[in-house]
Each structure stands twice: as C-alpha cells, then as structure tokens.
Amino acid sequence: SEKLLEDKDETIDEALEIIRKLSDVDRIVLVKNFKSKKNKLYMKVQSEITSPIIEKRKVANISYSGSFNLIREALQKGKEIHWTLDSSPKKINKLLQKLNIKSLLFIPVFIKGKWEGFLSFEDSVFRKNWNDSDIQLIQTIARMIGTKLEIEQAQNEIKVEKEKSDNLLLNILPSKIAEELKEKGEVKPTSYNSASILFTDFKGFTRIAARKSPEKLLDDLNVIFLQFDQICERRQVEKLKTIGDSFMCAGGLPVENNSHPIDICLAALEMNSFLRDAKAIVENITGEEFWDMRIGIHTGSVVAGVVGKSKFAYDIWGDAVNIASRMESSCEVGKINISVDTYNLVKDFFNCDYRGKIEAKNRGEIEMYFLYGIKLELSKNREGLVPSDEFFELMRQKGMI
C-alpha cells in the first residue's frame, strides 16, 4: 500500500508486477477511460505487465460500444467481471479465443466516486478460477490504485494551476524578479548606478480620443503598445508600465548590463519609425487624424523594486526617472529627445543634434539632443535603424557587450 501511494511515475507498474507474481497471472492491464471530442467513451491502456513468456499487445483505444457495452454497464455499477472460455458471452468468447485468453477478471477502478477504468487480470496458459477472497483482495488493490490515480490527478491539476500562476506572474514581473518573489516571498529594492529610462507620449491624445469610441480607442492603443512590447523584448529593454497614453520602459535592469544606453536608443528609433508608418497608413486609408509621438530618454541611477502585496508591480524611482519624463515633455512631436548623460554614452553610434540648454519644468535648464538614427557607416540601411556588424564591433571595443 505504501508503494502505491508513493509519488513516483513507475510506482503503479512496480506494484502491478508484484501483484502479478503473487496472483500468478500472465498479464495485468490497467485501463483508463477517456472521452473523444464527440463525447464518446473509450478505453485506453495505461499500464501493461506481463510474465516473461507473454508478449505485450499493441492495442489501440477501444470504444465501449457493441459487445464492450456489457463491460461498461457492469463495471460502472461497481461489479467485477469474471469470464472463462466456457462462461463468457458468445461475442466476447470469440475475442477471448482470438487473443488466446483462457480466463479473465475485470475489477472496476473509481476515482472520487466516479468510475474511471478497470484492472484486467488475464491467463493465457492455464485457466484460473478466482475465489471470493482473491477477488476481495484485488478489489482492495483496485481501490488503492484509484487512490494513487486520484493523487496523481490532483498533483497534475496543481501543476497546471501553478504553471498558470507562474505565467501570470511572468506577465506582470521580470523573470528574475518573479523567481525572487516565488523563492523568498519578497523582493528587496535594488540600486542601479546606471540605467536608461524611456518615456513616450502622444500629442493631442485627449482631443483625438474624444472622437473615438472607447472600444476603438483601446484597440488602437493595444496595437501600438503590443508593438512597443515586442520592440522592448528584441532590444533587451524592460517594459515597466503604461499610464494612459504614456509608455515607460528601461534598460540595464533588472539584469545589469553595459549596453543599455544603446539598447534604449535602438528601441526608441524602432518605436518612432513604427508610429510614423502607422500614422501614414491610417491617415491615408481612413482620412482620420492619428497621433504624433514624443520620446524622451535619460540615463542615470535608480532604485528598482516591487510595490504592492496583492497586485504586484515592478517599478523604478529616482531623479533619473523625473529627468527622463522631462526629456519627453520637452521633446518635439515625431522626435526623440535625449539628455546629455545619454548622449555622452551613445554619441559614437548615433547621429544627434545639440539643442542647447532647454528649460525643463521644475528642473531648470538641461542640455538636450535630438536622436536621429544610427550613423551611416554603422548602419545596414539608409534610415539608420538597423545596426551593422561594425556597430556591434564598436560596442565590443568599448566594453558594452
């Protein structure tokens, strides 16, 4: 009984082999019920144990129809079936002869009170006569196997639910943070000396949104932000959140790296290019006004962590976040505005224009640059969106990858 209730995949086979030897039968088969897509009940062999002189059968799934309906009717009522060549129904008798079975015993298996299959005991060499005590013992074994299968079923259900929970957590939190939360039950705030933060915002969002239905508005935003999500994933940038029509992401966290200023700029160029193309397509086809976008980027130190107990959110804090937000609000539509701190880290890779010192809300004057694209000699295309091998070689030389 202990062996049957152990949590091992091979437990049932091992237990059935012991039972086969003790009962001195040629073959024991554990059959489980399942329903087809058309809700038709079938039997499927889950385990088959034979004596050394008996070959295993290759049996396809069999429907409980025709002659097998007799088996179903008896077993689902909890009755055992004991047949020999002399006592079996005519149609079953032909099958026993074909399979060279001299005697047969079926014992139903129930899980949570529901009939889920049966144990089959077969003799092909000698006809076995089962007495009441033998059958009673086998029924006890069948109940234990039912308990084992019930445990396995519950464990599988728990596993499926855990996978769903884990996937949901990974959709909310970065994988590294999700693992820490699962292992420790909490996530300690982490300081990053250098991270690159990006904000986007749509010009005229409120005005244009007022002309759309809520469903159309959400659909449009979803299309755009799904593309931004994919861009972030390609560029190893962590999406943090959307706030209304604003999208926020950061590079260099939660896994620290030296490439984050480059990664965030490449992501910004892709986002800007996508929205520009989407705007042209929508306005040409529908004639409706579409959004323009501003992007702001800054590189600096931040603290990152998880807020909330029941609804988790991974977020970052620090002056660098405020400056990145000011870069966005100080940007012109259709352009990418970066701070001097970001510029100093990416100037050898991208074409940028110095804007001078620009007054930023609550920040005073800040040196800013417009980011236009990858330098021609480092780009695979004239648009300056796709980095070449030379681009990555320069990153290696500078220790960024």
Question: pLDDT by residue (tens digit) across 274-307?
Answer: 999 998 988 888 888 888 999 999 999 999 988 7
| Token representation of residue 311 | 């609804």
Region(s) of the chain under CATH 3.30.450.40:
11-166
CA distance 343 to 260: 13
Task: Please give the residue that has the higher pLDDT: either 311 or 387.
Answer: 387
Q: Which fold has domain 179-397?
A: Alpha-Beta Plaits (3.30.70)
Per-residue pLDDT at 148 exceeds 90: no
Question: CATH number of the domain at 11-166, out of 3.40.50.11860, 3.40.50.10880, 3.30.450.40, 3.40.50.980?
Answer: 3.30.450.40
Whether the link from the prior residue into 254 is cis, omega within 30° of 0, is yes
CA distance 352 to 371: 5
Region(s) of the chain under CATH 3.30.70.1230:
179-397
In which band, very low, low, confident or very high, does the pLDDT at 168 lie, cut at 50, 70 and 90? low
pLDDT at residue number 136: 82
Per-residue pLDDT at 4 exceeds 50: no
Q: What is the mean pLDDT of residues 131-148?
A: 77
pLDDT at residue number 303: 96
Per-residue pLDDT at 146 exceeds 60: yes
Which amino acid, residue 118? F
Per-residue pLDDT at 11 exceeds 80: no
pLDDT at residue number 2: 41
CA distance 32 to 43: 6
How much of the chain, in percent, has pLDDT values that exceed 90?
41
In which band, very low, low, confident or very high, does the pLDDT at 261 lie, cut at 50, 70 and 90? very high
Task: Please give the residue that has the higher pLDDT: either 11 or 351.
Answer: 351
Minimum mean pLDDT range among 131-140, 254-263, 351-360: 131-140
Q: What is the mean pLDDT of residues 162-183?
A: 72
291 within 8 A of 283, measured Cβ to Cβ: no
350 within 8 A of 371, measured Cβ to Cβ: yes
Minimum mean pLDDT range among 101-110, 241-250, 321-330: 101-110
pLDDT at residue number 7: 41
pLDDT at residue number 341: 97
The per-residue pLDDT for range 14-48, each reduced to its tens digit, is 778 888 888 888 999 989 898 888 889 998 988 89
Count CB-CB contacts under 10 A for residue 133: 8
pTM of the entire structure? 0.64
